[in-house]
Structure 1
Amino acid sequence: MPDHEHMVKRQKVLADFGEFSLRSEDLDQILTEACRLVGEALGTDLAKVLEIEQDGKSVFMRAGVGWKPGYVGTVHLPMNERSSETYSIKVAKPVITKDIDKEDRFELPAFLKEHGAVAIVNVPIFLPGGKPYGLLQVDSREPREFGEEDIAFLRTYAAILGPVIDRLHKSHSLKEALEANQHLLKELQHRVKNHIGIVTSLVRMRARDVTSEEARRELATVGERIEVLRLVNELLYVAGTTDLLRLRPYVMQLVENLCHVDEGQFGKVRLEFAIEEVDLAPEIAVPLGLILNEFVTNSLKYAFDGESAQGGVISVSVEVLEENGIRVRMSDNGKGLPAEPRPARSGSGTGMKLIGALARQLDAKLDWSSSQGTALCLEFSRR
């Protein structure tokens, strides 16, 4: 019968294993540590965990301590009628062999004698719900009784192992499912991005082919708006997410692309950015991008009186406000808004109407000004 010191040692082993199993997410590492600690608690040199294979007809040595190299992870044992493992699982209780030389109930594998094992105890491990996982086996190199206290300790140990194994199995399954979904998501984003790119190219090709200047301008405008959607999907694809978009690279790339495309027609403008680091949901980033698209396009077309935009400046700033607020200010140093009619009030012009509609979609406070050029300020919540 274990003395008080041994009982305290076993309680400590249970506590140490419980703490270790909470820190680690590696099942093999946890099972190996379980074998090491149980051998330490019972004073045996050999211990192993046998896992029932998918066919239910055999077990393999998933983890172990004290065995020669090449056994753990490779040894497979049949679960037949003469198997002590099969019997232990069937009766759902520990099965003890005090001395394998005197054992006549079961056929024991030869490698046990090769390692000097004499006494063996099988302890079944069950997952929550009663499904058998396998067995914890402790092997002694000397004949041993394995008393009631030993068996009670091992049953407690196996009862702890079951939920730990179940948790890691579920965690692994969830991780695999998540990785599969992320792969599918990236594939879908990639296809959407490519499809939008194809539509953009078709619109631009059509714009080059039409003879009407008005139709060409309208198609070019449609292409630029589609480009906003393509850019959003591209940045989400690169980031590997669907939830949030980093605003700074999005705004800078969008504005730079617009100015680069129109550089041959309107001349080169200087761009100024002052954008704080913030992430926005795509449902906010898309209408904001369309507003930027309209403002920059109109600045290039009209702010500099239809002449070269050389020397012109277009600025965009983004400021994070309290309570998840965002202030976006876009401006140019052109000739400003016409005195009549006031676009902010009348909503004249397709671009102005679209900006107003998009601002309402964002539930944004919209403010136009025209002191030194044209400026548009938006304030909205990023929630």
Structure 2
Amino acid sequence: MTSEQPTDVRREAASAVTPEQGATTAEELAYRLRQQELTAEFGLFALKTHDVQALLQEATEVCGEGMKTRLCKVMQYQPDEGDLLMRAGVGWKPGYVGVARAGADLGSPAGYAFQTGEPVISNHLQGETRFRTPQILVDHGVKRAINVLLRSGKDKFGVLEVDSPVQGRFTGTDLAFMQGFANLLGVAIERQRSEGALRTSDAQLRQALEHQGVLTKEISHRVKNSLSIVASLLSMQARASDHDEVRRALADAENRVQTIAAVHDRLWRTEEVHSIDLAEFLGGLCQQFQAAGPEHAVSYDIAPVLISTDDAVTLGLLANELVTNAIKYTSPKAEGDIRLTLTPLGRGELRFEVRDHGPGLPAEFDTTKSKSLGMKLIARLGRQLGGKPVWQNSNPGTRFVLEFTP
């Protein structure tokens, strides 16, 4: 596929630090962005796994990491016993996961969330008067907790809970992350249940397959919507800032998140979620680049190669970083302004190039010493694809080359 098109833009970041750790605005922003990255990564994991227990365990580990705490669990409702069983968890002492139980009544924080559907934030469990503190939390010195309802289709599956033995405050933004994550997990659980239904009856086969396809697309769609919300929040923060540097950093962050959202948008619109046609995928990204930056010309020549979704996501982010970088240093309206090519080399190898007609590389250029987040990200994405990024002066301009085996 060959066409002439243009571009879009991206950010600088800080270490991810939680609000209760005394985070600066930039550090908290990095913390929130990391939460959304983890949600997107879990969405891809959910598309691949066929094991409910592995799904639940991964969910507790990812959610705990997103909330910067070592304690997280999924409590599943047991209708025969009328209580909640710890089905999966991370950070708990041996003998608790698969055994520990909590009340499903209104006097329990988890039970209240389960019965009413309303999330529960308890930032001071020692002084909590609304609910009794479950023994498991006492045993682990938990000082604060968040509980959100976990639905599977129309049914209440149980509760997703994050606990912390560290003093501090869970906020409304933390709750938004938890609820969005629980919604995504609920769809994944329902997908797993539909796969189980596939094996029960030949008569249900076609219907279950169709339902599974809908749920698979719904996962990618929800991840895309979650990322779009984050991008909108970044845009609002950028407009509200009085500092040019902060506005540029937030604009870059917004565009990086939008790129990941665009990938998931394409995923849920396609019939095949495990692989992507690069000619269609990268060509579509170039068209988005054009719409976002009509003052620059972007051409592309992408071979119709199928690669895994994971590699396509990485390559899409790499292309976005490179085109964004080229736009910063290339004069608009130059002939053949920016060009992307992807060529099969044989033996399964691919050669990816991005060339611009800007001023070229400075004499002292050294990627290993660059402090730019963009350059570090480009190097990291190249390594993720299994290749070694190479920068060259193309007289005029700059050429980036990456040879890799997907």
| TM-score normalised by length of structure 1 | 0.50
Count residues with an aligned counterpart.
Answer: 208
Aligned match of 2:394: 371
Q: Write the distance in 1 (CA, Å) between the matches of 2:394 and 2:214.
A: 51
The answer to whether the 8 Å contact 1:269/1:312 transfers is: no
303, 325, 339: which one pairs with 1:298? 325
**Counterpart code for 1:222:** A
382, 385, 388: which one pairs with 1:359? 382
351, 370, 388: which one pairs with 1:327? 351
Aligned match of 2:278: 247
TM-fit CA distance, 1:339: 1.0
Q: Write the distance in 1 (CA, Å) between the matches of 2:340 and 2:241.
A: 34
| Secondary structure of the structure 2 residue equivalent to 1:338 | coil
TM-fit CA distance, 1:379: 1.0
Q: Write the distance in 2 (CA, Å) between the matches of 1:269 and 1:215.
A: 24
Q: Write the distance in 1 (CA, Å) between the matches of 2:368 and 2:394.
A: 17
**Counterpart code for 1:296:** V
| Secondary structure of the structure 2 residue equivalent to 1:365 | coil
Tell me: CA distance 1:211–1:311, structure 2 relative to 1, closer, same or farther (3 Å). farther
The answer to whether the 8 Å contact 2:389/2:401 transfers is: yes
| Secondary structure of the structure 1 residue equivalent to 2:341 | strand
Question: Where does 1:68-217 land on structure 2 (aligned, <5 Å)?
Answer: 170-217=201-248
Give unpaired runs (5+ residues) of structure 1. 1-167
The answer to whether the 8 Å contact 2:315/2:381 transfers is: yes
TM-fit CA distance, 1:239: 0.7
The answer to whether the 8 Å contact 1:343/1:352 transfers is: no
The answer to whether the 8 Å contact 1:243/1:282 transfers is: yes
The answer to whether the 8 Å contact 1:247/1:277 transfers is: yes
Q: Write the distance in 2 (CA, Å) between the matches of 1:248 and 1:180.
A: 29
Aligned match of 2:312: 285
- Encode CA deviations 1:130-180: one digit per residue, 9 max, x unaligned: xxxxxxxxxxxxxxxxxxxxxxxxxxxxxxxxxxxxxx9944433332222
Question: Where does 1:229-248 land on structure 2 (aligned, <5 Å)?
Answer: 229-248=260-279
TM-fit CA distance, 1:311: 4.7
The answer to whether the 8 Å contact 1:287/1:358 transfers is: yes
| Secondary structure of the structure 2 residue equivalent to 1:368 | strand
| Secondary structure of the structure 2 residue equivalent to 1:320 | strand
Task: Report the RMSD for the aligned CA atoms in angstroms.
Answer: 2.3
TM-fit CA distance, 1:330: 0.6
**Counterpart code for 2:349:** G
TM-fit CA distance, 1:270: 1.8
**Counterpart code for 2:258:** E
The answer to whether the 8 Å contact 1:186/1:237 transfers is: yes
Q: Write the distance in 1 (CA, Å) between the matches of 2:202 and 2:347.
A: 36
Aligned match of 1:317: 341
| Secondary structure of the structure 1 residue equivalent to 2:399 | strand
- Encode CA deviations 1:65-110: one digit per residue, 9 max, x unaligned: xxxxxxxxxxxxxxxxxxxxxxxxxxxxxxxxxxxxxxxxxxxxxx
Report which structure shows greater RCO (CA 8 Å, sep ≥6): 2
Give unpaired runs (5+ residues) of structure 2. 1-198
Aligned match of 1:3: none
Q: Write the distance in 2 (CA, Å) between the matches of 1:213 and 1:180.
A: 48
Q: Write the distance in 2 (CA, Å) between the matches of 1:336 and 1:256.
A: 25
The answer to whether the 8 Å contact 1:276/1:320 transfers is: yes
Aligned match of 1:129: none
Question: Where does 1:213-228 land on structure 2 (aligned, <5 Å)?
Answer: 213-228=244-259
Aligned match of 2:366: 343
Q: Work out the percentage of aligned pairs sharing the same amino acid.
A: 34
The answer to whether the 8 Å contact 1:207/1:215 transfers is: yes
Tell me: CA distance 1:323–1:174, structure 2 relative to 1, closer, same or farther (3 Å). farther
Q: Write the distance in 1 (CA, Å) between the matches of 2:335 and 2:236.
A: 31
The answer to whether the 8 Å contact 1:368/1:376 transfers is: yes
Q: Write the distance in 2 (CA, Å) between the matches of 1:210 and 1:244.
A: 40
Aligned match of 2:405: 381
Larger Rg: 1
Q: Write the distance in 2 (CA, Å) between the matches of 1:225 and 1:240.
A: 25
- Encode CA deviations 1:263-309: one digit per residue, 9 max, x unaligned: 4xxxx1222111110122221112211211111111111233xxx45
**Counterpart code for 2:358:** G
